[in-house]
Every structure is written in structure tokens, then in C-alpha cells.
Chains A and B, each alone.
Chain A
Amino acid sequence: DAGITQSPRYKITETGRQVTLMCHQTWSHSYMFWYRQDLGHGLRLIYYSAAADITDKGEVPDGYVVSRSKTENFPLTLESATRSQTSVYFCASNPGQGANYGYTFGSGTRLTVV
């Protein structure tokens, strides 16, 4: 199916564990983004990527690592999870012609760090 998919939908992990959230899009969009949603903060940009092998930090990158070896995939890794990283994570993509086209978001991953 065409679209942007995130996995898993729900994840519980322990403090200090490494966890990877997956994002896959089928449109070959150039740009991909990771946001986290927290009450009182709205959506905050963690990392983004303009193309394969090109990534850059967003507003709240600390504690996260990304990679983009293929255009369609943009995984987000928490190297050593902390309770403050409990959040809902959204992946998004954009064809690269400007924000005019808007972003398409995935359904989100709800991560709980205990």
C-alpha cells in the first residue's frame, strides 16, 4: 500500500535500552522528518533528512540517532532510552518542493520508557 508507515505502533522499553523506531514511505519523497508530540509542547522536530545519506538536527536531537541509507526508510534510534523520551513519535515526508505541499505524517509510535 502506498503511504507512510511507522512501526511498532506501541513500544514499552526499559531505561538504558536501545530502541529503534521504523519509518517507511512509498512515494520516494526526498524529505523525511521525525517529530515528537508531548503535552504542552505540541510537535517538536527531532531530526530530518533531505535525501539518502543527508541528515540534520532539529529542535530536540539529544539522545537520538538517525540514518537514511535508502530514500524510503528513515529509522530513529534511542541509544539509551530515558523516561523523558516517553512520547508519541511521528514520522513525516515531503516531496521536496517546499512546505507548500504540506507534510504527510505516519500514524505514530507511542513509546513508554519505564
Chain B
Amino acid sequence: DQQVKQNSPSLSVQEGRISILNCDYTNSMFDYFLWYKKYPAEGPTFLISISSIKDKNEDGRFTVFLNKSAKHLSLHIVPSQPGDSAVYFCAASGGTGTASKLTFGTGTRLQVTL
């Protein structure tokens, strides 16, 4: 039972354009969401997060949007750069105040082309 779903295994975007990566979740108890970026032969690295009390969080070229009613979040990268080519994992946590276990999606491979 996949509680966090990334339905697009891959995405190709031209350099300079917007990349939109999507994530859906089923567990209503999730209240904190994170995006991780992973390059080949490296561990995932934390990118950006959002609490369920917000609907948007921005950090430079990266913005995460949360739609709680739809149980959907998305990561926008503007403008996309070749160095953004990586696998992106969406993750969700069941509660703050503790080091809650993270539940990850299956990942979306983003390729930014020249």
C-alpha cells in the first residue's frame, strides 16, 4: 500500500523552462512534507519542505505547493538548469515534535536538456 505516490517515473524539460514534479498521498495523518534530490551513486539530499499549515514554501528556484484537500503536493523548479537533472523523491511525515519516520514516494527522474 503506497501511501506516497509519484505517478510520473520520468520527466524531461528544456533548460530555462519550468519543471513540475507531482506527489500524491493517502494518509491524512501526514502533516509535514519534504522533497529530496538524488544524484547517481550519492545519498539523497534534502531540498525543501512544507508544513501542513502552509500551502506554499519557496526557496530560490524551488517552490513547493501543498493542496491538503486534494492530498497533493508539487515541486516547481524555475528556471530549470542541467544540474537539476536527478531523481526527486517526495517524502511525508506523520507528526512534528519527534523524529518521525519518513515515508517516501518511488521517485521521478528529471532530465533537463539543453
Chain A interface residues (CB < 8 Å from chain B): 30-31, 33, 35, 40-45, 48, 50, 58-59, 90, 92, 94-100, 102-108
Chain B interface residues (CB < 8 Å from chain A): 4, 6, 32, 34, 36, 41-46, 49, 51, 89, 91, 93, 96-107
Whether B106 pairs with A50 at a CB distance below 8 angstroms is no
Given contacts A33-B102, A94-B99, A98-B32, 6 further A-B contacts (CB under 8 A): A45-B101, A95-B99, A98-B96, A100-B32, A102-B34, A106-B43
In the complex, what residue of chain A is closest to B3 when comparing beta carbons?
A: A59
In the complex, what residue of chain A is closest to B101 when comparing beta carbons?
A: A45
Total number of residue pairs linking A and B with CB closer than 8 Å: 71
Complex partner residue of A99 from B41, B93, B105, B107, CB under 8 angstroms? B93
Whether A99 pairs with B34 at a CB distance below 8 angstroms is yes
Complexed CA–CA distance, A50 and B98 (Å): 10
Whether B43 pairs with A42 at a CB distance below 8 angstroms is no
In the complex, what residue of chain B is closest to A6 when comparing beta carbons?
A: B43
Whether A107 pairs with B43 at a CB distance below 8 angstroms is yes
Complexed CA–CA distance, A54 and B42 (Å): 28
Best-buried of B32, B45, B104, B105 by chain A (most CB within 10 Å): B104
Whether A103 pairs with B46 at a CB distance below 8 angstroms is yes
Complexed CA–CA distance, A105 and B105 (Å): 16
In the complex, which residues of chain B have a beta carbon less than 8 angstroms from the beta carbon of A30? 99
Whether B42 pairs with A33 at a CB distance below 8 angstroms is no
Best-buried of A30, A58, A95, A99 by chain B (most CB within 10 Å): A99
